[in-house]
Structure 1
Amino acid sequence: MVTLKLKYVHEDVDRHGNVRIYFRRRKGAPKIRIQECPGTEAFSKRYHELLAASEAPPVPPTSLNRTPTPGTYRWLCVSYFGSPAFRLLDPSTQRTRRRVLESTFQEPVFPGAKEAFADFPLARITTRVLKVLRDRKADLPGAASDRVKAIRAAFKWALEDELIANNPARDLAKLPLSGTGWHTWTLEEVAQFEKRHPIGTKARLALALFMWTGVRRSDVVLLGKQHARDGWHRFTQYKNRNRKPIIHETPILDVLQEVIDASPTGDLTYLVTAYDRPFTAAGFGNWFRERCNEAGLTGCSAHGLRKAAAASAAENGATSSQLMAIFGWMTLAEAERYTKAARRKKMAGEAMGKLIRTK
């Protein structure tokens, strides 16, 4: 059944009750999974990216079924996919990087050129050549950034493994991103959601877990009673769990415990589907999107709740180091976005009176 009013977008419900969204241009064409949450900027970006790709004229074909020719761009990428460095990445990161790199194989090296990237010799690849791949996504800065990250990672590995003598991707810069990303919930929007979904509902439990734990969507679907001990939640974060695992430890606030005690929960996870099974991260995102729509919050998302919690903590005086501990960030940069914004707001409030002349 299709409830999204977008061309070529289809919804499937699996046996666990998870809604999966696919893009398929025509009957018989492969279905492409859309992982992003409907109604978000990321979903719109991904949809238009797939739409544009499906409308693009065919590129002179390259035989991708045969073994890659050694010393070519595709050979480097395929070698990277089989490397220990790639296998240590989180499964979701592996899927993204593979998809991004494979999507470049049949693109022409330059506009109008017959040569595709797949068989292009590594000896002829320069930073300028790689900029062609990046700049083809200039109208979708997020997709351009994904290309830069994937290409940088592959070439960095190839240099370390001595497949290449120099790294042309080292100086490949990302395009500047516009906007502020996911919408940060306001206090009024939180109150509107709470009014529609009172304590005792699954939706209110999901809201409370985001607001009072600081976890990501990939963690909230795994969090359960077995992670609670002596008034604290303790678990290994899903993100980077293979490369740089981070133990997340935060006290269970009374406001959160009150909601948990009053809510139906699963045995291994607090949040479960209608079939009493744990959510997948994507399935939960779609389910929570519907709960937001029910509350009239079409512009709000689960990730935006995490941003709201961080902004609230910063405005209440949390330091950058404290925010890193709560939200599991590995660098100061992300935390300082919130602490600097909070300081600006506080200084503006203290200084506004100085605009008025006293004499």
Structure 2
Amino acid sequence: MGSPVKRRKQFPGATAYFDRHRKRRWRFRKGGFSAELGSDYGSEDFVRRYEDAVNGHKTRGLIGADRTKPYSVSQLVALWYRSPEFLDLAPSTQKVYRGIVEKFREEHGDKPVRLMRRRHVQTILAEKAETPTAANNLRKRLIQSMDFAITLDWRGDNPARATKPFRVGGDGFHTWDEDELAQFFKTHKPGTLAHTAVTLMLYTGAARVDAVKLGPKNVRNGKIEYRRQKTQRSGGVLVSVPIHPDLAEVLDKLPKDRPFLATQKGTIRSAGGLGNLMQRWTEDAKLPQCSAHGLRKACARRLAEAGATAHEIGAVTGHKTLALVQRYTEAAGREGMTDSAIEKLIARPNGERNLANPPKRFVKSETNPKQGKDNL
């Protein structure tokens, strides 16, 4: 007898998972593309969805709005993915947005857009109350998609805008402080990739996705110049940062024919790869709360504490708006500002008061109130 023939999988690429209600569902995954197949394995609806998913994979994820219900959430999402507003986003941002929107689409794709109300959005967001950041991210995507629905004349208002975001404790990614930086550099000495990477991001404010691409070709007239990948679709914000002496000392010792954070083969390291290394390096330094993005915030914090304005900080970090930068400047050096404020109060003699513009309640009228009444 010959060896047993291995049974071929009936639906290659289909895998099972359990949703938040512990119900078993199926999805198709292949090469970064995924699509929901429902919960009834092998049914006619399952087979139809599977065939659509396979075709969708062959066309690299071009979602056909003609396969969805007219004016449904699913059709709106399909059209939004093809819109200039969405296509102008960086590929990495598109991927993040899709990950958020597709989960919403799985549960509500067949529902008509025109019937969505504020209370519906509130209920959907309330289900994510235990993860407020995720809820707020979904809210932002719903606002964008409903704004797009207005441009299509599918509805005249945006119910998502009428909701309020969840309060989130903290400021997102942890900002490295000076003690943490010293602890990291004590563990990772000059000459190591870890030391080079952290020094580069700390003194340029570059995000991971930009830091891995920086090299000698970006050095011009004593500055590191590059265009942020996040803003490339809209022309890219040009960042030009003078090279700090501490950074110059590190860069001078690196090869001149490859990126600063190159792999052993001399090629550009992936942003994800750098992120994995950063996690390992911070754990080695006993700093699990620290991350690459936190270095970008630390750069802004240092600039703010040095007295840089919000516009100056934004020029270094490449922010297009100053809202986030303003948070850095407001938070920076609060301890030092309170010290100086109390010192000024202590320096003033006890009881001294500036009466150049005294409050009205402290001004004594020379007119007798009773006399004033008699004169009326």
Is 1:29 matched with 2:15? yes
Whether 1:273 aligns to 2:263 is yes
Are 1:221 and 1:284, in contact at CA under 8 Å, matched by a contact in 2? Answer: yes
Aligned counterparts of 2:157 and 2:299: Cα–Cα separation in 1? 44
Match of 1:350 among 336, 340, 351: 340
| Residue pair 1:200, 1:264 contacting (<8 A) in 2 also | no
Q: Deviations over 1:153-205 (max 9, x none)?
A: 11112212334343323323322211222222221221121122222111111
Shift of 1:132: 2.2
Q: State the distance in 2 between where 1:91 and 1:230 align.
A: 31
- Any unmatched runs of 5+ in structure 1? 1-26, 32-51, 108-116
Amino acid at match of 2:111: F
What is the CA RMSD across the aligned residues, in angstroms? Answer: 2.8
One-letter code aligned to 1:288 = M
Which segments of 5 or more consecutive residues in structure 2 lack a partner in the other structure? 1-12, 26-37, 53-66, 351-376
Aligned partners of 2:227, 2:316: CA distance in 1, in Å? 13
CA deviation string 1:42-96 (max 9, x = no partner): xxxxxxxxxx946643588696937111011111111111222211111112112
Please tell me whether residue 237 in structure 1 is matched to residue 237 in structure 2. Answer: no
Alignment CA distance shift 1:250-1:102 (3 Å): same
| 2:182 maps to 1:187 | no
Deviation at 1:133, TM superposition (A): 2.2
Paired residues in the alignment total 303
1:57 aligns with 2:23: yes
Counterpart of 1:253? 244
Distance change >3 Å, CA 313–CA 349, structure 1 → 2: same
Mean Cα displacement is larger for which, 336-345 or 278-287?
336-345
Distance 1:269-1:172 versus aligned 2 partners, 3 A rule: farther
**Distance in 1 of aligned mates of 2:272 and 2:234:** 22
Secondary structure of the 2:240 match is: strand
Asked whether 1:320 is paired with 2:310, we answer yes
**Residues 217/30 of structure 1: CA separation in 2 closer, same or farther (3 Å cut):** farther
User: Which residue in 2 is equivalent to 1:5?
Assistant: none
Q: Match for residue 11 of structure 1?
A: none
- Aligned-partner SS, 1:349: helix
- Structure scoring higher RCO (CA < 8 A, sep ≥ 6) equals 1
Percent of aligned pairs sharing the same letter: 32
Task: Note closer, same or farther for the CA distance 1:134–1:227 as it changes in structure 2 (3 Å cut).
Answer: same
Matched, 1:71 2:71: yes
Distance 2:118 2:21 in 1: 28
- Mapped partners of 1:180, 1:136: distance in 2: 23
Higher gyration radius (CA) = 2
SS for the counterpart of 1:249 is strand
Number of the residue aligned with 2:94: 94
Q: CA deviation at 1:323?
A: 0.8
Do 1:314 and 1:339's aligned partners in 2 also have CA atoms closer than 8 Å? Answer: yes
1:311 equivalent to 2:301? Answer yes
Shift of 1:244: 5.5
CA–CA separation in structure 1 for the residues paired with 2:283 and 2:119: 45
Contact conserved, 1:324 with 1:335, CA < 8 A, in 2?
Answer: yes
| Native 8 Å contact 1:198 1:204 kept in 2 | yes
Contact 1:104–1:133 (Cα < 8 Å) also in 2: no
Query: In the aligned structure 1, how far is the partner of 2:209 from the partner of 2:312?
Result: 21
1:18 alignment partner in structure 2? none
* Aligned equivalents of 2:134, 2:74: Cα separation in 1: 20
Q: Secondary structure at the match of 1:119?
A: coil
SS in 1 for 2:224: strand
